[in-house]
Chain A
Amino acid sequence: MNSVPVLQVSELKVHFKIANGLFSPPTIIRAVDGISFDVSEGQTLGLVGESGCGKSTTARAILKLVQPTAGSVHIEGVQIDTLKESEMRPLRQRVQMIFQDPYASLNPRMTVGNIISEPLSVHDICHGDDQRLEVMRLMDMVGLNPRYMNRYPHEFSGGQRQRIGIARALAVQPKLIVCDEAVSALDVSIQAQVINLLMDLQQQLGLSYVFIAHDLAVVRHIAHRVGVMYLGRIVELADSDDLYQSPTHPYTQALLSAVPVPDPTVSQQRIKLVGEVPSPDSVYPGCPFVDRCPVAEDQCNHTVPTLTPGAHQVSCLVQSIDLPADSVEVSG
């Protein structure tokens, strides 16, 4: 067992400056505001949260598609945020991404064979007949008929296109794949097929995933650990079953209670959240969730909560005072 995690994110911050004209100071959007997590080999970390919570920006920072404002990202022990683009290129073989929209992420003018073989050429992995055989092997692996390698993306359905995206990501034999809403645009029956494929590939190839989704049921199924994000921060991070069975942060509890269970015999207790996610352009002197929190206390207005250490990490001032005993596990 390799002791170095495949991915280490520590105190990552990504802030964007929005210019307000010549004489006014720029607005700072704190898209990601100090998050830390590890992903070890063969593991899946799920990141969930509402739109604008910073999930996708985190994904982009992991691939060095945006430059972090502070903090660091290590891939297999190598710090990538300080690397030059030329030094980064070999590392791009180690980490790949699958995108949400299988219609927009494939070049409509390239055949499927060319889409999948492009990374093989770019990274100088194989050429000529070897390359052709490799493309056929990859297509077979993701459940596409290799006979279709001369077809164009528009000739495939959404689920098949997502398989093309997966084959392209696998071409360079990565260790880590970042899936940003990879199954959200698919119909349920097709979504189940793609989830099965991703889990199957993980077992075969020992892949690690960072799986970003707003669908909490999908994340529970695929992820080993889950982080709940709110306004650029992780408010709760725990093993999947632990998080879903005993959610501790009031935001996690509210988020889960809002997801309808596909079973008419279950009556759900909704925890109502008032309002919507506030804008990430303001600085909060206290907990950023305070305005919507059903259990907020006075201290939440001026003290910033931090994640508790241990296996089940929670960032809440109120709950950390009297956590239910069975939901806290301290790792050795």
Chain B
Amino acid sequence: MNKPLLQVENLGVCFHTDNGTVNAVNGVSFQLEAGETLGIVGESGSGKSVTNLAIMGLIPSPPGEITSGEVRFRGEDLLTMDSQHIREIRGNKIAMIFQDPMTALNPFLTVEEQLTEVTQLHLGHSRREARAHAIDMLEKVGIPAASRRIDEYPHQFSGGMRQRVMIAMALSCKPDILIADEPTTALDVTIQAQILELMSELQHQEGTAIIFITHDLGVVANTCHRVMVMYAGKPVEKATTREIFASPHHPYSLGLLNSALRWDESHGGMLRAIPGQPPDLTQLGDGCAFAPRCEYCVDACETAVPPLISVDKNQTREHACIQDLPSIRQTEVDV
């Protein structure tokens, strides 16, 4: 029996606020196999981060509520699991790296205390073993003089070094899944390149599956095998990285690709920006959430939410648009 490493089925998360109920995530399904990298792309408020917080069991309740769905890790549903059991998995089998390492690390504890906590808890290391392991991990992520720096506090590290500490911590227990939520957004490009390379090296060595949340399509093109594009809490397109860059099937994916600038090409002239603003999640209408900003919108788009449909036989490519975007664009080119 070949179960996927992680299977998310129809996940729904909402937040009850004073201004109404925000349907942050609304019917997200995807699966992840060992050794692969899935990119989740979308703008602020598209539900990328909430999806992954739900997988980790980190949705604060109240105001958050998981309204539907299953998150099966090796066949076991994490959402119905008791908290004792989920704690054995979180940080151990599924680990997470956050965008801002300064707020994710505890400023009052030395790096040693933060790194050894997780291995003492999950792997039953003694203090001495845990320290040796932590130094080993810091060396692996490229922190010079690790045996000295392990006794320092987070503020004594630069941004890139802190992110390395976060990665070392996340990888301490050799997780099966690493969730990276915008891990390089706050970093300079040269440091970003180092961190991305480090992550892919570790993936090769350990066969870790990675969920990479980002809005940078350059990073997606360079690191991810598959991509899921999210808009207003729903996946609107799923495909392999090459497919989606070559021929997006959803107008929002196309808009994102058009908005992404390349440094290696001269553009000149105006960008093809997506008009309008992302929608208010408390007031989603009956139709497709992207319809008000979509240049391919027809009447039918405003009356019903388009379901995810697959376009090929293997069911690896799905998109939620009633239009046949590639053929419309083909006719545009012909005209």
The reply on B266 being an interface residue by CB < 8 A is yes
Contact, CB under 8 Å: A188 / B217: yes
Q: What's the tally of chain B residues with a CB closer than 8 Å to chain A?
A: 47
Among the 9-residue stretches B104-112, B255-263, B318-326, the one with 4 or more Cβ atoms under 8 Å from chain A is B255-263
Q: B210-247 CB contact bits vs A (8 Å, 1 = yes)?
A: 00000111111110000000000000000001100110
Q: Kindly provide the distance from the CB of A265 to the nearest chain B CB, expressed in whole angstroms.
A: 7
Q: Mark B156-170 against chain A: 1 for CB-CB distance below 8 A, else 0.
A: 001111000000000
**Is residue B188 contacting chain A, with contact meaning CB distance below 8 A?**
yes
**Number of residues on chain A facing chain B (CB within 8 A):** 45
Chain A min CB distance to B263 (Å): 4
Q: Cβ of A193 < 8 Å from any Cβ of B?
A: yes
CB contacts (< 8 Å) of B191 on chain A: these are: 50, 276
- Which of A160, A191, A221, A241 has the most CB atoms of chain B within a 10 A radius of its CB? A221
Asked if B31 lies at the interface with its beta carbon under 8 angstroms from chain A, I say no
Residues in chain A near residue B275, CB distance under 8 A: 193
Residue of B nearest to A260 (CB): B218
- B271: A residues at CB distance < 8 A: 192, 195-196, 221
A189 is an interface residue with CB less than 8 A from chain B: yes
Our count of residue pairs bridging A and B at CB distance below 8 angstroms stands at 129
Q: Which of A193, A255, A264 sits near B242, CB closer than 8 Å? A: A264
Q: Within residues 72 to 120 of chain B, which ones have a CB less than 8 A from any CB in chain A?
A: none
Any A CB within 8 A of the CB of B300: no
B261 touches A244 (CB 8 A): no
Could you say which of B159, B241, B261 contacts A221, with CB atoms under 8 Å apart? B261
B35 within 8 Å of A (CB atoms): no
> A258 contacts the other chain (Cβ, under 8 Å)?
yes
Is B273 in contact with A259, judged by CB distance below 8 angstroms? Answer: no
CB distance from A195 to the nearest CB of B (A): 6
Q: Which of A193-226 contact B (CB under 8 A)?
A: 193, 195-196, 199-200, 214-218, 220-221
Contacts of A276 in B (CB 8 A): 158, 160-161, 190-191
Residue in chain A with minimal CB distance to B273: A192
A216 and B266 within 8 A (CB)? no
Q: Could you say which residues of chain B place their CB within 8 Å of the CB of A187?
A: 43-44, 215, 278
Cα distance, A217 to B218, chains bound together (Å): 10
Q: Are A220 and B190 in contact (CB under 8 A)?
A: no
Instruction: Identify B274's interface contact among A157, A192, A254, A259, CB under 8 A.
Output: A192
How long is the Cα–Cα vector from A50 to B323 in the complex, in angstroms? Answer: 43
Whether the Cβ atoms of B272 and A192 lie closer than 8 Å is yes
A285 at the interface (CB under 8 A from B): no
Binary per-residue interface labels of chain A (250-283) against chain B in the complex, 1 for a CB within 8 Å, 0 otherwise:
0000111111111111101010110011000000
Closest to B244 in A: A264
Question: Is there an interface contact between B217 and A262, defined as CB atoms closer than 8 Å?
Answer: yes
Chain A residues lying within 8 Å of B194, measured Cβ to Cβ, are: 272
Contact with A along B179-203 (1 / 0, CB 8 A): 0000000001111111011000000
Q: Are A196 and B218 within 8 A (Cβ)?
A: no
Q: What mask results when residues 164 to 194 of chain A are scored 1 for a CB within 8 Å of chain B, else 0? A: 0000000000000000000000011111110
Contacts of B259 in A (CB 8 A): 188-189, 191-192
B224 CB, min distance to chain A CBs, angstroms: 9
Q: Are A216 and B242 in contact (CB-based, < 8 A)?
A: no
A320 to nearest B CB, angstroms? 23
User: A217's contact among B197, B262, B272, B273, by CB below 8 Å, is which?
Assistant: B262
Give A143's nearest chain B residue, CB to CB: B275
Cβ of A159 within 8 Å of any chain B Cβ, yes or no, is yes
On chain B, the residues within 8 Å of A299 by CB distance are none
Query: Is B190 within 8 A of A263, CB to CB?
Result: no
A272 to B190, CA, bound (A): 8
CB–CB B43/A260 < 8 A? no
| A residues near B189, Cβ cutoff 8 Å | 50, 214, 216, 255, 258-259
Question: Would B256 and A241 count as touching, CB distance under 8 A?
Answer: no
Contact A157 B277 (CB under 8 A): yes
C-alpha gap A30/B159 in the complex (Å)? 21
B334 close to A (CB within 8 Å): no
The answer to whether A244 and B263 have CB atoms under 8 Å apart is yes
Other-chain residue from A51, A195, A215, A261 in contact with B264 (beta carbon distance below 8 A): A261
The CA of A77 and the CA of B116, in the complex, are separated in Å by: 61
Whether the pair A266, B264 counts as a contact (CB closer than 8 A) is yes
A189 in contact with B256 (CB, 8 Å): yes
B266 neighbours in A (Cβ, 8 Å): 220, 241, 244
User: Is there an interface contact between A262 and B260, defined as CB atoms closer than 8 Å?
Assistant: yes
Residues of B within 8 A of A (CB): 43-44, 158-161, 188-194, 196-197, 215-222, 241-242, 245-246, 255-264, 266-267, 270-275, 277-278
* Given A196-B271, A276-B191, 19 more pairs with CB closer than 8 A: A50-B189, A157-B278, A187-B43, A188-B215, A188-B217, A188-B256, A189-B255, A189-B259, A192-B273, A192-B274, A196-B270, A217-B260, A221-B267, A221-B271, A254-B190, A259-B189, A262-B217, A266-B264, A272-B194
25 residue pairs of the A-B complex, CB under 8 angstroms, read A50-B190, A157-B277, A157-B278, A187-B278, A188-B43, A190-B273, A191-B259, A196-B270, A217-B262, A217-B263, A220-B261, A220-B266, A255-B190, A258-B192, A259-B218, A260-B216, A261-B222, A261-B262, A261-B263, A261-B264, A262-B218, A262-B262, A270-B193, A276-B158, A276-B190
